[in-house]
């Protein structure tokens, strides 16, 4: 049996050979091409142009029409928005006495051990988003100033993330920061003098850690890609946006299986998974593949929920920015949400699915995807609807998900 190190080395050599072969094919192809003026763009080439000509602000996960819809519902005392708003305002994340805890180096090992600033950073980022939402929905400038205080504290200090969980930690915190920053920069009339410094922090500390993805479990790369696309919107960086969308398009089909994929799941570009045994190991030993199965289903539902949440968040941001990615992933996402909702609701797990046993729960992650697919696109999603309504009001997972009943329940915008 090969050791983990040997297997990793072989995989890297396979990826290198594939990369060289692809490059050589490109060179040979270029030599035989007709003049550029005679070449027509393929549909794939056309589809790859994802970045908007002009970015929409605020435009990371929530846009102004969505926020205005929520504000009207809360002011009217309508449910479930009013109870979701009350839940948010009663949380520690909305506290006006919160004191930020920035660090120059955030060190996060596996499962945040060691945890040197990991929880502080994630929770300060969620708090910045929470108080930004509170500002918009109440009009109380104290919340905007608290959001600014949190963002300014971190942008003045942080320089790096280290240890084994650094990419994931950067992805989680880097998903929440741009949501807060977009709302404050583009709706708070008193202004934000240090918004440029905050943008520099996102560009130099966060984006390099998340932009190139990861060949770890899929929730890593999807969370990192969520951070990358949010950062790209705030920075109005079209190249970073395009790169994030390209990563998304390669990763989602390799994270959620459909029977139309064939006998084995698809693999992400550069994964090096080119045998059945390698693919099965990567899919947690599962050998029976069914619509909606996730690469991490047989690991546990919690990590699966992270991945599905990030898919929904990325697609939601793309929709706000004018190119809706939901249609590209709709079948995968609706089947995935439905499959996992069914068993979380109590249906017996069949023996051919993870040996008849599923671990944990997917968490407060269904509102965004259900609203997009079930409400806006009209897909019948009975199990997902039941679970979503059962979990309301959805709170926070204290990592990168927060208040999605408030922001997305029944939101048509």
| pLDDT one-digit tens code per residue, 107-157 | 999 988 999 999 999 999 999 999 999 999 999 999 999 999 999 999 999
Non-local (6+) Cβ contacts of 395 within 8 A are 87, 88, 91, 364, 402, 403
Tell me whether the omega of the peptide bond preceding residue 80 falls within 30 degrees of 0, making it cis.
yes
Q: Is 56 helix (H, G, I), strand (E, B) or coil?
A: coil
Give the number of C-alpha atoms closer than 13 A to the C-alpha of residue 240, restricted to the C-beta side.
24
Q: What percent of the chain has pLDDT over 90?
A: 86
How does pLDDT run across 44-95, given as a tens digit for each residue?
A: 334 546 899 999 999 999 999 999 999 999 999 999 999 999 999 999 999 9
Taking the C-alpha atoms of residue 347 and residue 355, their distance in angstroms, rounded to an integer, is 15
pLDDT for residue 111: 87
Dihedral through CA 350, CA 354, CA 355, CA 360, nearest 10?
A: -90
The model's pTM: 0.89
Q: By C-alpha distance, which of 167, 180, 152 is closest to 207?
A: 167
Q: By C-alpha distance, which of 159, 176, 169, 160 is closest to 214?
A: 169
Question: How long, in residues, is the chain?
Answer: 413
How does pLDDT run across 291-320, given as a tens digit for each residue?
A: 999 999 999 999 999 999 999 999 999 999
Taking the C-alpha atoms of residue 264 and residue 285, their distance in angstroms, rounded to an integer, is 12
Q: Report the DSSP beta bridge partners of residue 256.
A: 294
């Amino acid at each position: 049996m090969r050791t983990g190190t040997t297997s990793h080395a072989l995989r890297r050599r396979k990826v290198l050979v594939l990369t060289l072969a692809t490059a050589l094919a490109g060179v040979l192809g270029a030599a035989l091409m007709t003049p550029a003026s005679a070449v027509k763009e393929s549909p794939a080439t056309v589809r790859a142009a994802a970045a908007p000509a002009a970015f929409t602000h605020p435009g990371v996960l929530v846009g102004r029409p969505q926020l205005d819809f929520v504000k009207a519902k809360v002011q009217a005392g309508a449910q479930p928005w009013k109870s979701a708003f009350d839940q948010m305002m009663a949380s520690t994340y909305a506290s006006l006495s919160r004191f930020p805890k920035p660090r120059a180096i955030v060190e996060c090992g596996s499962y945040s051990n060691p945890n040197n600033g990991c929880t502080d950073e994630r929770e300060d980022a969620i708090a910045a988003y929470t108080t930004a939402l509170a500002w918009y929905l109440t009009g109380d400038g104290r919340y905007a100033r608290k959001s600014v205080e949190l963002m300014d504290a971190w942008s003045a200090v942080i320089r790096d993330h280290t240890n084994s969980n650094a990419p994931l930690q950067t992805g989680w915190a880097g998903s929440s920061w741009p949501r807060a920053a977009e709302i404050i920069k583009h709706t708070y009339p008193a202004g934000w003098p240090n918004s440029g410094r905050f943008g520099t922090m996102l560009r130099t500390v966060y984006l390099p850690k998340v932009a190139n993805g990861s060949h770890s479990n899929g929730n890593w790369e999807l969370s990192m890609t969520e951070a990358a696309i949010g950062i790209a919107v705030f920075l109005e960086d079209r190249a970073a946006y395009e790169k994030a969308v390209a990563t998304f398009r390669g990763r989602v089909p390799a994270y959620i299986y459909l029977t139309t994929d064939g006998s084995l799941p698809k693999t992400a570009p550069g994964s090096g998974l080119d045998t059945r045994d390698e693919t099965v190991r990567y899919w947690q030993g599962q050998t029976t593949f069914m619509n909606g199965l996730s690469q991490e289903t047989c690991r546990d539902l919690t990590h699966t929920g992270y991945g599905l949440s990030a898919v929904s968040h990325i697609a939601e941001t793309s929709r706000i920015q004018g190119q809706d990615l939901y249609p590209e992933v709709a079948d995968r996402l609706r089947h995935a949400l439905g499959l996992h909702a069914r068993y979380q609701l109590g249906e017996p797990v069949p023996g051919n699915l993870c040996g008849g046993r599923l671990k944990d729960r997917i968490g407060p992650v269904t509102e965004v995807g259900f609203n997009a697919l079930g409400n806006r696109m009209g897909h019948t999603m009975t199990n997902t609807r039941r679970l979503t309504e059962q979990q309301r009001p959805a709170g926070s997972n204290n990592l990168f998900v927060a208040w999605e009943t408030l922001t997305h329940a029944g939101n048509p915008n």
